[in-house]
Structure 1
């Protein structure tokens, strides 16, 4: 291009900036510290910012070790002169900056590794490993840049409430730290509001001003890269091209930046007019059978939550109320029927919307944004998007990087958990002894005529305040039960009570061969479960309570309470009872294929296919979802495990054993039930264990262990394994993060599972095992993901023939 052409292009750009209504608005930061670390000269950037050299910034640094390093500019093709020098720290070092006023501030860090000689020592910056944090927030944890040609830029946004901020550089043991450049600059107070829309569940999220953020993506959709030269706040906006899933479905559109208008109360400090002057619209708009959606996929770390800001400006419509479209985020409707001419009050007028995406709403370690035309105006089927910003949110321990936050925090967390475990163990032991004491006292204070009672009703009633007389207090079967199912003594239908048919003790003795020990198929705190066969050939499961077990009585009572109000295809059904001669017996449908666990390991039964395992997990999830949502309060199972998932003759899964179940919280605004910890080790929700606060997410955690059992065909806890492999959930999640989950799945499944199906299944299991209940999905969401996993498997069945050939080739090569 000729010099005159360049001059004319530059003139048009400058004219556009000058004539734009808001583009010339300047933000003068109260605090502005710009440091060119390791350099002895200042740097004047093209946007007129000046970076001080190291001697000029020495007063901000507290370090006992002084290492400067620089490299000739001609030696490296770096994007900025800031990367041509570095300060090296072999010990902990701290930069401390005073604040003119509290509020939002940027922290920007520049890193570029190179081999240098500093103070007569050789340093290879690719070997540096270190952490960076403020007093409150971990910015980088065990950070390293291993590629000597890579330049790394990190940007953070913190709401600082003190009069000074410290930035600590902490080398890991036997390593060192370095930094090429530092910015600490004020940001506008209105840049981040305190509330945004939570995507799942849809609600208002409050408290954003108490959270620290890291910029993950800032995209100028449909336009070129924007540098601090055209952004008053010194931000970079990247082109979105590499994140579009199908470029053929999209079409770039631009207008002069001077045409962009900002509504009353808005500012170009939210985003410069260059962002709104470009957009992506759906390709082939107004053409039938065209692809009328555009999708962006952006990889993220799903262990964190994110604040996402979408920017819109209708630069394609010719008139008002002409463009209607939908916006989806991770497959969920985020905005329905968006009419920019209404929300922005005009064409070519800016509008943005903030969303919070929790870990439960992020699938496949990516955030997906999709725009699609609404059907409100068939004459203009189109949609557009102008900009995307995605900011990582600090987690509950104030970290933006790493699982545990700061170095040593993992050991601290383990130590705290051990102390909490010991303390809770002592409390539980005390509770057990106290409970035994109560049981003994209660036994000696029992009614004097207990031995003369012919039923256990006196112990169990009332099991339901609405039906406190659902069982006769006299002999119900021998002398009172009528063929039509009514009790002669009360006139109440036992069928209506939910207990089903009344059986005589004699009938059940015949069915179980006098409760033969060989007929025992299960043992619990209440007593034994026997398999039996009625005269008509129907097989039944008979649960016979031990009247001398107080624990068993309580569980028995709970079982009756729950099953009397529950009916679902994927819950084991109660079909009858026996209330005779001091007996407490419940009769259930017989599940001929027994516990799910027996089909996974330990019993030598034929292996289940991947589809069979998915069907069983889906059925179990449906049963649990019904428990959580099928009654006004919901019911929490509290003992979800593979032995409590039973299979019928067709391998249909049904959830069983409700002896530990609890009604969900009944008080408005209270999301948990405070109760003593009960359940099975290996499946216990750690948050419930710590806080003794039970929620339906406790079942979700336990079900996550069930899913990994189904995948790996091994127990949730296996003390015969190496230490790091004892807990299946922890081991599986660690292997998944390393991309090695396929190494620990059931060998029988290798080569027989579609990769996409396996990935979706493992993601569902991993999300169930989130440390905190609020970060776990609902059982309904888990069910959806499992059904999706099944769809993926059926749509993309693995090539078994190819897998067999591959295996044979592998064997031949070994021979």
Structure 2
């Protein structure tokens, strides 16, 4: 990664045509030319607006959760006639400024700032709010509500990025109805560039139960800078075929606990089913005692007009911060660990110019400060800033990530405490848990394992579904695992890690309460199940998600965390099929100093998944998780358990058998038959290569989880690319060995053979009922393996 460094004031001047522009600034805080990036503080002004003030990219990136390497700040600025777009970087005293990339994209006139002819609803006031062209905006959030992330390539013309909304939901999540292939009928008032089809074809609704819907609000909470006005653009499109007329669904919109819309009727606003529409609202978030204030958005059915359905929907949401009267858009830095240098005082901003704008879109490419060529029809300006000698950051060279959503922050967590962290998760009473589970009714059991029994329950007066895990009094796992899981999960927040809501330790009980994962475990969708087989691309996406969760544990947390029990029943799936790694009862902190290469500990894990090197030497590293994940990858590919004791010895262990098939070039013969004709050979080869490398007998030869993530994403790209070419997508032929070539470097090691034997021995007393005898040889296995009796999630 390269950057341009400024030790004194520096101005970029862009000769662009008049009109509103997206200005996107890319920051990758790192050590450039041996400079301490934490000491970089600077301000940024443009065309009479102050965008940043004493800004620290280092503090900003450190506050983003889940952790990222770099981030984007996006602004909307109007350029007037006879005016150039100027960006002036002003380092704070004894400091320096830097920038990694600048992108400028033209947009249609009056798209966000609509002028005096179209005043906006001013929430909490009895008059309108006038948003003119002299106002600068900063994009704070842009969300595809109820849907998946949409990259800039998936946007309609302006290269915007849309993120999922689940991180900001509070309480009941509602439903996510999606009708594939639905036709979105754009109109003149809502043209195609308003938002992409994927925004309008997905939504979040309250759900099909009117009684439940009347007792809760569909709620989102967004941390924002106080002391500013905010523009909220709500995107709607009703695509469900049962709602085609006005007054079938009417709802209230609340913004910061004030009524913004009393009778929102999407069909009335848009003109019909499948027609998109958006509504704009402005609200003031006043100054408070905190550096961040919460901005609330809530929806609730309005039955006063007796509509057919008690429901509310939202498809998309954009939130923008508006400049103050003196042209300021700058918020404060996240709380620093040391005081930042004082901000430099600058002259007051000049009066804003006025003038006429042009709708012509401009494209300019600039590299290293020089003007490049105009790319035909791309309508995008890209600028890549370099330090004069293009200084590279060697510490980041192996990591591969993608730019994240602008200004994406979340609540911070504290360090792990030796006591149960009541400040980070909720402490439930036993009475609450008893009520939530229907007095631990067996009909609510959704899983069991070495820890005990897992129940589906409901909290908050029955409106929020949760998973409740109760320690079995006969379990060998006890207080240490219980407290480990609480301490680990209460300090971890990531899209691909299961969220801990709270715990209960009343009356000697040890109970954990999690978000409810409605799709269950990954294993439940692979074999011995009535569920429909997962398509190949969905399997890839699930594997990518789980790998990202493990990568965060290994590299993104304050200290390396080794899960130590990675398996398909500890990968859970939510309603959107998003994979989340679960069950941290056996987790351990990894080496805490550079001189340490491993943690010496007794072996724990699950049969068929344990790293043979860890089993033999009792040296635990993050590569032990990599091995276990390799077994999961072959589970996903072959749809069979990690151990089948009744099989021939060389086939009993999935890890050993899959590696031998990979080496012989016969892996396609053990691939899940349900995938026949669906998997592109190039994708299969890449996937198998990754899985095989994870199972290398020596941990040092296995890839890092970051490399696994990249490899799986590449396998998905290969599959998608192959599908675009109809002539090349024939899928693997299950009866043709030629679709998979031998790999002579994948010979099974002695470690694999040793561990296969150990697995067979430990399961030698297993009967057809999958039970285990109490004979002495099995006592060690019981202490080592967390799951023998019942292969369900713990």
Tell me the TM-score normalised to structure 2 length. Answer: 0.39
The structure whose RCO (Cα within 8 Å, separation 6+) is larger is 2
Tell me the TM-score normalised to structure 1 length. Answer: 0.38
Q: Which structure shows the higher helix fraction?
A: 1
In our comparison, the structure showing a higher alpha carbon Rg is 1
